[in-house]
Structure formats: structure tokens, C-alpha cells
Structure 1
Amino acid sequence: MPLQKKQSPEPFSIPQFTSRDYRSFFFAGAICCTISHGAMTPIDVVKTRIQIDPAFKGLGFVSGTRQVIVREGASTLLTGFGPTAVGYLAQGGAKFAGYEVWKKTFAEIAGDQETAVKYRTAIYLGAASAAEFFADILLTPLEATRIRMVSQRGYATGLVSGITRLAREGGVRELYAGFLPIICKQIPYAIGQFTVNELCHEIVYRNISEETKRSLSGTYKFGIALGSGIIAGFAAAVLSHPADTLLSQINKGHGPKGSMIFRLTTLAKETGLRGLFSGLGPRMIMTAGLVSSQFLMYGAIKDALGAPAGLEIHKELS
């Protein structure tokens, strides 16, 4: 009986994005993150108060919002809007474009379709982590300014005065004091955002036929994107919330002196498991809205710019 020739793995057809495509990815990511994070500023103000202000301990989102308005006025809900908008303009562009770069890079390293599909979750995790790490270099100084303005009443009147004061009083070291906790927060966030969104889409599309997939209406596609984004947002919130709580405390000056790892470890022990997840409810609401709206806007802006779809390595229905 003749030996069967072993079939070689199918080469992976990877799109060759142009510099214009990457500029479109960056622009779409920047705009969708700026709009979404800017719109969520009031929720983030309440969430931060619940995390770090003893007067708000035990309050929910509605009661916390009422407390802020009564004590400080409705305008307080927009505290930190400037750093938020500018910070996520840079971070969002770098993150979304970076995810496309790293996903393509890791898929090319896999070498063929079968290997890429087999390790697709690892590719998503690696691409999200790498993209977020470099994006956070841009975000950290502005996030430090935002948290200081939200947590310390009267700290500054706006973005320029806030970041100038922070740099003057603490220098570059103070601006990047939160870099370690911010990547501890943002990398799990990005993993939840991108990986869970990819897997949700895969689950949906593996359960419909190719004919149905080709004839999907715009409303159906919108529903898939919205539902996947909401689930990914919940995952991102849960995975990143403990580090988000510690980041808020670090930027307010809480914790002992010493290395950042020592400060984070000590604060985590003092805060306890329950304290680390304080304010999770409002943040889940905020993050579900953020992530789902970002993916919807990102897709719409890319379409308007004529940019191609990102690389897909979903496992097909067998």
C-alpha cells in the first residue's frame, strides 16, 4: 500500500496593509476612544469618588452621583474632561492601530493557517498586551493628571494647568509614577476588550451558515457588534478593576514610601479583596458602554475612510 503524502499546512493569506491603512486605523481608534471616554467622564468621576473618598463609601452609582451634585455642584461631574479627551486620543489611536500591527505580526510568525487558528487566542492576548503597553506610555501622564484633578478638589482648572503643576511638583517621575499600576490595569482591560470581542464574534459566526453570513442585514451586524462589545466590556471591567482601584489610590498619594511594587502590594493588603472591587458596578456600566461604542464607532469610521477590515483568524465551522 503506497504511503500517503502528508498534506502541507495551508499558507495563511494575510492582508498587506499600507501606511494609509494604518493611519486610518489610528485615526478611527483615536476618535472613537476620545468620544467614548469623554462622554463617560461623569460616570468615571463618581466611580473614582466611591473608590477613594471615605464620604462615598458604600454608595452606589445613583446615590454617589446625587452626593457629588449636592456637595460640589453638577459641573464637578465634568472634572478631568480635558486630560481624558487628550489622553485617550493618543492612547486610543496607538492601541487600535497597534492591535492590528501586532495581530498581523504574530499571525505571520505562526507561519500557516492551521497554526494561526490553533493559537489564535494566544495571538489575541499577545497583540492586545503589546499594543496596550506602548499606548500606555502616551496615556500615563494624562491619566495621572485626570485622577489628581478628580480626587483632589481644586487641584487645577484644566488640562494644561493640571499637568504643568504635576510636572513642576514631581517632575517626570511623578508623571510616570502610575505607569506600573496603569499597565497592570490597562493590559487586562485590553485583553478583555479585544480577546473576548474576537471570541464572541467567532461563536456567533460559527453557528450560522456561509449563505446566511453573506446576507446578514445591517441591523443584524449591528446587533452582533453591540452584544459582543457589551460582553467584552464586562470582561474588561472585571479583569482590570483591582488595578484601577490601586491606581486611583497611588495617584492620590496613598500608600507607604518605597518601590512601586512594594506600595502596590501593601495597598492591596490594606484594601482587601472587597475593597479592590469597590465601585465595580458603576465601572461595569461605564466599560460596557465604552467598549461597545468604541467598536461600533471604530468600524463606522474605518468604513467611512475606506479602510480594510482587520485580519480575521477565526476557526471555521467544521
Structure 2
Amino acid sequence: MSKNLADSLTHPIKDKLQDKLNNRMPDKIELFSRDYYAACTLGGIIACGPTHSSVTPLDLVKCRRQVNSSLYKSNIEGWKTILRTSGDSIFTGIGATFIGYSLQGAGKYGFYEYFKKTYSDLVGEKVANNYKTGVYLAASASAEFLADIALCPFETIKVKTQTTIPPYATSVLDGWRKITAVEGIGGLYKGLVPLWCRQIPYTMTKFATFELTVSKIYEYLGKPMDEYTPLQQTGVSFLGGYIAGIFCAIVSHPADVMVSKITSEKTADESIGAAISKIYGKIGFGGLWNGIAVRIAMVGTLTGAQWLLYDSFKVYVGLPATGH
């Protein structure tokens, strides 16, 4: 079911670009055309699905320590314990991670490019140029709002599976069936509001900080982006993305902790507000920052890698890197 959902969303985009990719892009993609947004959407899948999946072992220990800070004394101890435990794996949750963040990446990057253009046209060229940051923030918030609707069911399965020992489900489909059997489809969306609270500030910070950082880097280097090679441009994208990722981790971490706790502790008949209040009463303000050092390292690297992959793909298909 999950695989069919992902295929139905990504195959039309892949098919549309296949001829151009096979022929090394003989025709230039017109900016802001349907092909342009299709390329950005596919670039988002490439940027987010593999990168989030690659850090599953780190994410697994982080989520478990957020739910129970005394479970492991360190990440290394956590991995050693997991490897020694029958039925457990350091790649627990990787399937839901890959599907969920591929769909989220498609929406986040594709809709961001669409809303950035749409909002710029709406306010006019002069206002858009004078208030670029406002456009970036509005576009990224709108994009993430929609992207999280696709992500949430798979994030719920991922977190539920990762924070239960032994793991709650053996596969994405198994997790989907178990949750919906008890709580219905609504059970897959019980973490949507906390997810929005985590992801929307995260993405607003990610895109606005990236765009501004890249602009400052080129100012420091003394030449416009067009005068650098594609390799140099993507190098700037990675650096700008890593810096943006550090800010992202700090801004979104309390909500990240809350998502993990709600997914594992919220009862079916409990409201989101009541669950948040109960959890905060247990862990306090300090508990909201469990695992922050690990998340800064993880998100910084993750964000830098995502911008590197995304802009590398854009350059490959003949489009300018982000920040042009």
C-alpha cells in the first residue's frame, strides 16, 4: 500500500523527465514552467528520502533517548545494546523514513519553488526584492504545511516502531495495519499538529537561512553565482545548507522531542493539548532539550547534504542553483 502510494506520486514526474535525462537535457527547461516544478519536485525526493534514511541509526537512538533519557548513556552504548538485542536493529524504521521523507521532500521543495514564485508575483517585483526574507518564510511555511500531510502517517509509524522495544512493527505495512486497526486512519495523524509545530519553523529557518547565507557567501567571495562553475556552486550550497541546518536543529528541537513523546504516550481518547500538558509536566523545560547535541550534528549534516543533492540535480538538468 505504502509503496503503491509513493509510486503513484513519483512515477508521473519521473516519466515526464525521463526523455530529457536520457538525452542529457538537449532542451533547456523553462523557468517556472510545469517541467521546472516537476524537476524541483523530483530533486526534493532525491534530496530527502536517501539522506533521512542514511541517518536512521542515529535517529533511532535519538528518538529512544527522547522518550526515555535513561535508556542509553550514549549513542555508542545504544547501538551496542541494539545490536545485541534479538529482534531489534539499528535500521529500525528505515522503510517508513524513506517513504515518508521522499513524499515530504517532493512537497517541500516542489511547493517551495511554486509558492516563492507565486508570492513574489502577488506582491510585485519591487516588494519581493525589498522583502525577500518575508517571501522565503511565507513560501517555505506554505510548502511544509502541505508536505507534512503526506509525511505524517509514515512519521507516526516510524516513531511508534522506533520507540517501542521490541519494535512495534516489522514493516511499514505492518505498522499501518496495526495502528489503523486500533485507532483508525486518525491514529496515523495524531502527531500532525506537533509535526507542524516542529517542521514548519524548521523549514522556514532552513530555506530562509539558506537563501540568505548563500547570498552572503557570494558577497564575501566577490563575484555573482553565475561566474562560478557548477561544482563551486554546489559547494556553496552544501556550506550554506550546513549552516542553515544548525539553526534548524535548535529552532525545532523542543517540538521534535514532543512528537516522539506524543506518538509513544498519547492515548486514543486524549486530546493533543492534554497530552502535551501531561508530557511537559513529566519532563519540564529541560526535558525538551534531550538529545540536542546529537540533533545539531545530525541535522547540520543532513541539511547540508540535502541542499547539495538538490542543487546538484538542478544543475544537472540545466537549471540554476538555488539562490540565483
* TM-score tier (shorter): 0.7 to 0.9
Aligned equivalents of 1:235, 1:39: Cα separation in 2: 21
- CA RMSD, aligned part only? 2.2
| Residue ranges of structure 1 left out of the alignment (5+ in a row) | 1-14, 313-318
Of 81, 106, 109, the residue aligned with 1:93 is: 106
Of 153, 156, 160, the residue aligned with 1:148 is: 160
Correspondence for 2:299: 287
Of 130, 152, 155, the residue aligned with 2:142 is: 130
* Structure 2 SS opposite 1:156: coil
For residues 188-207 of structure 1, the aligned pairs below 5 Å read 188-207=201-220
Larger deviation, residues 212-221 vs 176-185: 212-221
Pairwise CA distance, 1:53: 2.4
Counterpart amino acid of residue 57 in structure 2: P
Correspondence for 1:121: 133
Structure number, greater radius of gyration: 1
Pairwise CA distance, 1:302: 2.0
Correspondence for 1:68: 82
CA offsets 1:79-107 (integer angstroms, 9 cap, x no match): 00110001111110010001101111111
Aligned equivalents of 2:311, 2:321: Cα separation in 1: 8
Q: Is the 8 A contact 1:25 1:307 kept in 2?
A: no
Aligned equivalents of 1:55, 1:276: Cα separation in 2: 15
Aligned equivalents of 1:304, 1:33: Cα separation in 2: 17
Q: Is the 8 A contact 1:80 1:149 kept in 2?
A: yes
- Paired-residue identity, %: 31
Correspondence for 1:80: 93
Pairwise CA distance, 1:255: 7.5
1:53 corresponds to 2:68: yes
* Structure 2 SS opposite 1:76: coil
Correspondence for 2:49: 34
Aligned equivalents of 2:196, 2:104: Cα separation in 1: 12
For residues 1-318 of structure 1, the aligned pairs below 5 Å read 16-56=31-71, 59-71=73-85, 76-113=89-126, 115-152=127-164, 153-210=166-223, 213-218=225-230, 220-254=232-266, 258-310=270-322, 312=324
Aligned equivalents of 1:25, 1:222: Cα separation in 2: 15
CA offsets 1:232-284 (integer angstroms, 9 cap, x no match): 11111111110110110111124796421232233224321211010111111
Aligned equivalents of 2:203, 2:170: Cα separation in 1: 31
Counterpart amino acid of residue 66 in structure 2: Q
* Structure 1 SS opposite 2:190: coil
Aligned equivalents of 1:63, 1:82: Cα separation in 2: 24
| Residue ranges of structure 2 left out of the alignment (5+ in a row) | 1-29
TM-score, length-scaled by structure 2? 0.84
Larger deviation, residues 130-139 vs 153-162: 153-162
Larger deviation, residues 199-208 vs 133-142: 199-208
Count matched residues.
Answer: 294
CA offsets 1:73-131 (integer angstroms, 9 cap, x no match): 8x611000110001111110010001101111111122123x21221111111111110
Q: Is the 8 A contact 2:82 2:90 kept in 1?
A: yes
